[in-house]
Amino acid sequence: MRKDGSFDALFQKNFAQAVAGLHLERHVLIELKTPFLPPWVRIEHKELWLDPVMVGNPG
C-alpha cells in the first residue's frame, strides 16, 4: 500500500478534510528527539508519519 500510493489515497479520502480543519500551516512544528521511544517505533521511516507540510499538497 505504501509503495503504490494506495495508502496515501485512502488517507486523503478519509482524513483530508479533518486534517485540513486543523490548519496545520498556522502551527509551529517543534521536533523533539527522545531516547525513550521503544525500538519498534520506526521514527527514521518518514513515510510512516504525517508531514504537516505535505498535508495540503499530496504527491
What rounded mean pLDDT belongs to the chain? 82
pTM of the model: 0.56
Q: Give domain status of residue 54, yes or no.
A: no
Euclidean distance between CA atoms 49 and 55, whole angstroms: 11
Q: Give domain status of residue 1, yes or no.
A: no
Q: Average pLDDT of 31-47? A: 85
Rg from Cα positions in the chain: 13
- Residue 28 forms part of a structural domain: yes
Non-local CB neighbours of 43 within 8 Å, separated by 6+ positions: 37, 49
Domain that holds residue 44: 6-48
- In the prediction, which pLDDT does 55 show? 66
pLDDT of residue 49: 81
Q: Is 32 part of a structural domain of the chain?
A: yes
Contact, 53 vs 28, CB < 8 A? no
Structural domain count, the chain:
1
